[in-house]
Chains A and B, each alone.
Chain A
Amino acid sequence: MLGLGRARANRQHRYVANNLSAYIDGQLTAAERARVERHLAACADCRRDVETLRQTVALLRRVPLKPVPRSFALPASARAAQARHRRWNAAFGAMRTATVTIATLLVMVFAGDAALTSGLVSLPGARTASDASALLYQERGQTQSEEAAPMMAEAAPKASPEAAPQAESEAAPEPAVEPYGATEATAAPDAPSPGETARALQPPRETWPGPQAQPGAPAGGEGGGPDMGGVGGAGGMGGTVPVMPRTNGVGGAEEGSTTAEAEPPAALAAEATETAEGEAQVESLAQAPDEAETPAEEPQPEAMMAPKTVPTPAPQPTQLPPTEPATAPEAEESATPGAMVMRVEPGDGDGTPAPEAERVQVPARPPEPAWWQASRSLRLIGGFLAGMLLIALAGTIWTGYKRGVPK
């Protein structure tokens, strides 16, 4: 009993000690004040405390005011400083808004990509558990080679699914079309370097075409030499991913080299080299159509390739790899021109392309489903946004610093 009473007294004591300050200032409610006063009546220690506390506050209030040592009035020049601060603050506000907006978009892109790759959102195309990682792995290799190529015609992306089936068959005939390609080819700047770079970048793969193509490349005379190299590299890649070779081939062709053979991965390239002896261009023509015509719904390798090639080669982020199937018809049309471009160049061997193209398809890797294409474009956008975010963040920090310390 005694212990309980003491505990309660201690509690009261603590409560009062914590509230004496407010009690002195009259800041307690009536109930609180009554509780304090009840305790004060019974506790000498607290009575003494409240007394000394009152005296302390009284002393503090007697501290004399210090006269100002000088006037703190601002000079007239302060006006400019205010205007400057206002401008920087406005810039800071804009940069901050931009940062937040971009960050939000980036998050949305991430979420969208995650939804696509995880299967939450379904787009045409079969999906397996390891699809994403496998595709990503392939793509890594491709992107490198693709980067080497300057750029693909936009038509390539358009070549969406539906076209694919036809594309294959057409591929053979295309060689005939070569004339267009030739014209276009001339227009295209020749870039031997791209082919070379592609080669260098290409990871070594066991694909059969790879080795052949490379040796062939050197053999190929004229512009074909460099191009071929590019093709060969592509072929190497192509072993796994048919798309790669095409892109390379296209790029090379556009650049003015013969590479067109790219379509059929390494094998084609090799053949092209052999047949054309550096003028494999013809093959490239054949390939081009294939790419452009990629199958709409069918998960043919070519179809996959086409979209891929398009995004990567094209420097512009705007290009939408995930073109809808609807575009297919147009894609075909456009594809032809694009294909021609790729084929063009020296264009020697016409016959070779068709067979090669077929072969290519056979070894082709699994088709890229639509969701994967969409995912890739999302990742491209995400990369672009990430760059913009860095810039906006730096701008925010800089303007924040320039506007001065906030209040």
Chain B
Amino acid sequence: MRALTRRAPSAPLNEEALISAAQRGDVDAFNRLVLEYQQLAYNVAYRILGNDDQAADATQDAFMRAYSALYQFRGGSFKAWLLRIVTNCCYDLLRVKQRRPTTPIDDLVEDDEHSRLIEDPDELPDESLERQELAELIQEGIETLPDDQRTVVVLSDIEGLSYDEIAAVTSVSLGTVKSRLSRARAKLRDYLLERRELLPGRFRLMDSG
């Protein structure tokens, strides 16, 4: 997948130089950082929000905010700093969503099904299709979690951040990260166990103990 290849940049960025240039107002320098991190930012936003358009909005808003406030960045992990802005943008959108809910869930599911049928060409291997189904089920499960647990499990198990990085992004202690992750995983496990029959055999949880 294109996305996957782009995620690992061929040439290592001199991140600090780009950041300090962007802090002086260099938009081009900042846009190189954007290209580097937009995949991650967008995916985090999508997993938290569960909606393409909103995820794009949140991502764009986050980069704009990050650029505007870049002079406040005092070193440390730029990735964690950026993801904190992304998650905050997502929370803002979620709050708006709670105030005036938009599309009912049924419609969303229908849409997904429809688009998948259209988009899935014959050449798509079975595995991809199955992974797609798995991803949708997991996404639904993730959306049942409370915001804080959802963020932690997305950052940890989908985006692969370390506990320390997650603590930096969410501004909580390591112990809090651990306990949130533990609860989130347990809930997701139960969610998937209840829907075992929806998944292809090799993705089914085996709880015969």
Write the residues of chain A forming the contact surface with B, with a CB cutoff of 8 angstroms. Answer: 17-22, 25, 27, 44-45, 47-48, 51-53, 55-57, 59-76, 78-79, 81-83, 85-86, 89, 404-407
| Contact of A22 with B182 in the complex, beta carbons under 8 Å | yes
User: Secondary structure at chain B's binding surface: helix, strand, loop or mixed?
Assistant: helix
| Residue of B2, B132, B178, B193 ringed by the most chain A CB atoms within 10 A | B178
| Contact of A68 with B42 in the complex, beta carbons under 8 Å | yes
| Contact of A405 with B65 in the complex, beta carbons under 8 Å | yes
Shortest distance between the CB of A78 and any CB in chain B (Å): 5
Q: How far is the CA of A85 from the CA of B203 in the complex (A)?
A: 49
| Contact of A82 with B189 in the complex, beta carbons under 8 Å | no
Which residue on chain B has the smallest CB distance to residue A77? Answer: B27
Known: A21-B186, A60-B138, A70-B56. Is A407-B27 also a contact (CB below 8 A)?
no
| Contact of B182 with A18 in the complex, beta carbons under 8 Å | yes
Q: Which residues of A contact B42 (CB under 8 A)?
A: 66, 68-69, 72
B20 interface residue per 8 A CB criterion? no
B179 interface residue per 8 A CB criterion? yes
B192 interface residue per 8 A CB criterion? yes
User: Secondary structure at chain A's binding surface: helix, strand, loop or mixed?
Assistant: helix
Known: A56-B188, A71-B35, A72-B63. Is A82-B182 also a contact (CB below 8 A)?
no
B135 interface residue per 8 A CB criterion? yes
| Contact of A64 with B181 in the complex, beta carbons under 8 Å | no
Q: How far is the CA of A71 from the CA of B2 in the complex (A)?
A: 14
| Contact of A65 with B134 in the complex, beta carbons under 8 Å | no
Q: How far is the CA of A55 from the CA of B189 in the complex (A)?
A: 8
Shortest distance between the CB of B15 and any CB in chain A (Å): 17
| Contact of B138 with A18 in the complex, beta carbons under 8 Å | no
Q: Which residues of A contact B1 (CB under 8 A)?
A: 64-65, 67
| Contact of A52 with B189 in the complex, beta carbons under 8 Å | yes
Q: How far is the CA of A59 from the CA of B35 in the complex (A)?
A: 28
Q: Which residues of B contact A65 (CB under 8 A)?
A: 1, 3-4, 7, 39, 43
Which stretch (B67-75, B97-105, B118-126) binds chain A? Answer: B67-75
Query: 1/0 per residue B180-202: CB within 8 Å of A?
Result: 01100110110011000000000
Q: Which residues of B contact A53 (CB under 8 A)?
A: 185-186, 189
Q: Which residues of A contact B88 (CB under 8 A)?
A: 405, 407
| Contact of A21 with B182 in the complex, beta carbons under 8 Å | yes
| Contact of A48 with B3 in the complex, beta carbons under 8 Å | no
| Contact of B70 with A82 in the complex, beta carbons under 8 Å | yes
Which residue on chain A has the smallest CB distance to residue B184? Answer: A21
| Contact of B206 with A55 in the complex, beta carbons under 8 Å | yes
